[in-house]
Structure 1
Amino acid sequence: MPPTALQLRPGRAAGETLPMSVFATLRSMIEAGGRAALVSVVEVSGSSPRDVGARMAVRADGAFSGTIGGGALEWQALAEAQALLAADGGARLRRLDRSLGPDLGQCCGGRVRLTIERFDAVDLDGIAALAGVRDEAFVTLGLSEAGGRLARRLATDEEATALAPTEQRRVLPDGRVLERFGAPATAVALFGAGHVGRALALALAPLPFRLVWADARQGAFPAHVPRNVVPVAAEDPVSLLRDQPDGAIVLIMTHSHALDLAIATAALAARRFALVGVIGSATKRARFASQMRQAELESGLIDTLACPIGLPGIEGKEPAVIAASVAAQMLMVREAARARLPVFSRLAEHR
């Protein structure tokens, strides 16, 4: 039977935790079926569909969570994982080394090395300890057991410093392995729970963002929101900006242009957010810029205001289309921040 994607719970009520880590997924699989496998990309040379650190958890029946890139490579990995889980012997690890061109007929042209680790009920305590880590991103230190599978524990801060900020995996000289799991989510303050706000919250659900979603109107929020969203009934939305971390993204789409202006002005004046964006038109931007100048906001700050929000060239006004465009813009801002590259100049070229 072909493997099928394991359907995880897509949403949450306010107050629940962020999406499950791979260890929480493994724990759930083991508790339900007695065993599970972890497939990891551990080395890449040349072009490949996913980078080192991509992982998926696999059940014995072939259901899975996560991806190592799809295609023939993933299909083979799933088959190997199921075979390892079905074996009666003591094997706990398999390795795959595949050239994507000659071995698999894929066009990437690179080479990928995978590990497939089997976990059973006896491993639950160690997996549960890592599943309980509440950080969005953390580093583990692994020591090879008999057979080559890693016994992992949470790395100390000092140990984790041996892994560069952009590095996902490193084998230390003594054979121990440092691995990074997860990635820090970019903080987003989303003001307004109208049609576009709702569409955007859904569009960002599977993406590496953590949203504080503000609206003071009664009944503005849907009954259930994605796991990475915290709805806030904010009587004073501007004051919420103080609680947002440096580098956060501020998106403004309330029911009131006056409120939009107040939030945008305060956000720009703070001089610490990666993007301040307002839904609207070029006319709205011009009006806001005039009023900001009257409020003696510096022209250089006003110039960074993203209004209208979204990528240039996408003209659709349907909420889902706007949400997709804004989500793409946010990903560009996130990547630029991680690489310390200017994103605003690239966007301005197309306006």
Structure 2
Amino acid sequence: MMKNQWFDGVMHCQNNAKAYVVLTVMGSVGSTPRAQGTKMVVTEDRIFDTIGGGQLEHLSIKKARELLTLKSQSQHVEYFPLGAKLAQCCGGATHVLFEVFCQHVNQLMLFGAGHVAQALVPIISQLPLNIVWVDSRQEMFDEVDKSELQLPTNVSALIAEDCTDALDEYPVNYVLVMTHDHQLDFELVHKALNIDSVEYLGLIGSATKAKRFRTRLAIHGISAPMLEKLVCPVGITDIPGKRPIEVAVSIAGQLIGLLNKHESNESQNSQAAWLQTKEIAKLL
């Protein structure tokens, strides 16, 4: 059985939120390396399966990676004569369909490495997120190490003397604040609300804390539309319980809802492009 088949490549890219191109051999004339319908997957650093090797595959991979640099979902058909131009002995000609899939990777910054965060990270690290986990206390990450929690490749632990500085160093669109210090929580929330790219800001705490923070934030110049980004208490309110794992599941559920809403919007935006692809395929 062939290793790294194209469908394995699609699963790999979707599970790791990597952009990829599916190449499909479409209409062919004469002798060609692979049959119509043969597929392969190309990423910026890997290939899965083959459409026959040789110059056809070499130039197809090159074209796929050129399309990836555009960072947008698209469909493109390329014509390849397999005679003298490509120095392949097949002598036929083929069309290759390139379908570009840009996986949107959400950047999440998690402040605080306490018990809730330690329960939360193993769950949300399985989602298409790049996570920067921030705390000023070395001992908290030492505790994580002792628990033998292996941080996945999409989670980076950052020890910062001033946690608010981390918001200047990394691009971010999701923020979770759950530190040990209410004043630090406030400073982080205030700064995050002033970052245009932040779409969602979850703050752990009670309804009383939420009301107090909203009043203080308004005094510090945060407008009502900006305050709409703030979710406090964070998490799905229908999930009861105050144990760390229960709170973590509640927060993870809310994030899953946001991510699926994001993917649904992207799917709607690309529907017209998919219809165009079907029309192209009919002509080949």
TM-score band by shorter chain is 0.5 to 0.7
In structure 2, the CA distance between the partners of 1:182 and 1:199, relative to structure 1 (3 Å rule), is: farther
Q: Secondary structure at the match of 1:36?
A: coil
The aligned residue for residue 132 of structure 2 is 212
Q: State the distance in 2 between where 1:322 and 1:229 align.
A: 20
- The structure 1 residue matched to 2:159, chosen from 233, 239, 247, is 233
Give the deviation of 1:332 after TM superposition: 2.3
Give the deviation of 1:283 after TM superposition: 0.7
144-153 or 214-223, which deviates more:
144-153
The aligned residue for residue 138 of structure 1 is 20
- 1:256-335 to structure 2, matched below 5 A, reads 256-335=181-260
Q: State the distance in 1 between where 2:155 and 2:138 align.
A: 18
Q: State the distance in 2 between where 1:299 and 1:151 align.
A: 49
**Is the CA contact 1:311–1:326 (under 8 Å) kept in the aligned structure 2?**
yes
In structure 2, the CA distance between the partners of 1:232 and 1:40, relative to structure 1 (3 Å rule), is: same
- Deviation string 1:314-338 (CA, Å, 9 cap, x unpaired) is 1221222222221221122223344
The aligned residue for residue 113 of structure 2 is 193
Q: State the distance in 1 between where 2:225 and 2:72 align.
A: 34
Q: State the distance in 2 between where 1:146 and 1:209 align.
A: 38
Q: Percent identity?
A: 30
The aligned residue for residue 52 of structure 2 is none
Q: State the distance in 2 between where 1:135 and 1:321 align.
A: 27
- Equivalent position amino acid for 2:124 in 1: L
Q: State the distance in 1 between where 2:132 and 2:211 align.
A: 28
Task: Say whether 1:156 aligns with 2:53.
Answer: no
Unaligned runs of 5+ in 2: 27-33, 43-60, 80-93, 267-284
Q: State the distance in 2 between where 1:180 and 1:329 align.
A: 29
- Deviation string 1:136-175 (CA, Å, 9 cap, x unpaired) is 32325454725864355541334786x973x7x8877863
In structure 2, the CA distance between the partners of 1:152 and 1:259, relative to structure 1 (3 Å rule), is: closer
Query: What's the Cα RMSD here?
Result: 3.5
Give the deviation of 1:176 after TM superposition: 1.3
**Is the CA contact 1:311–1:325 (under 8 Å) kept in the aligned structure 2?**
yes
197-206 or 290-299, which deviates more:
290-299
Task: Say whether 1:244 aligns with 2:170.
Answer: yes
Q: Secondary structure at the match of 1:334?
A: helix
Q: State the distance in 1 between where 2:265 and 2:37 align.
A: 38
**Is the CA contact 1:143–1:151 (under 8 Å) kept in the aligned structure 2?**
no
Give the deviation of 1:243 after TM superposition: 2.8
Q: State the distance in 2 between where 1:262 and 1:216 align.
A: 14
Unaligned runs of 5+ in 1: 1-33, 42-52, 57-65, 67-133, 342-351
The aligned residue for residue 98 of structure 2 is 178
- Equivalent position amino acid for 1:214 in 2: V
Q: State the distance in 2 between where 1:339 and 1:151 align.
A: 26
- Deviation string 1:257-296 (CA, Å, 9 cap, x unpaired) is 1101100011112233010110011011011112212222
**Is the CA contact 2:107–2:171 (under 8 Å) kept in the aligned structure 1?**
yes
- Equivalent position amino acid for 1:325 in 2: S
- Deviation string 1:54-89 (CA, Å, 9 cap, x unpaired) is 648xxxxxxxxx8xxxxxxxxxxxxxxxxxxxxxxx
Q: State the distance in 2 between where 1:152 and 1:271 align.
A: 35
The structure with more radius of gyration: 2
**Is the CA contact 1:38–1:55 (under 8 Å) kept in the aligned structure 2?**
no
Q: State the distance in 1 between where 2:249 and 2:208 align.
A: 22
Q: State the distance in 1 between where 2:118 and 2:153 align.
A: 14
**Is the CA contact 1:251–1:276 (under 8 Å) kept in the aligned structure 2?**
yes
The structure that is helix-richer by fraction is 2
**Is the CA contact 1:201–1:226 (under 8 Å) kept in the aligned structure 2?**
no
> How many residues are aligned here?
218
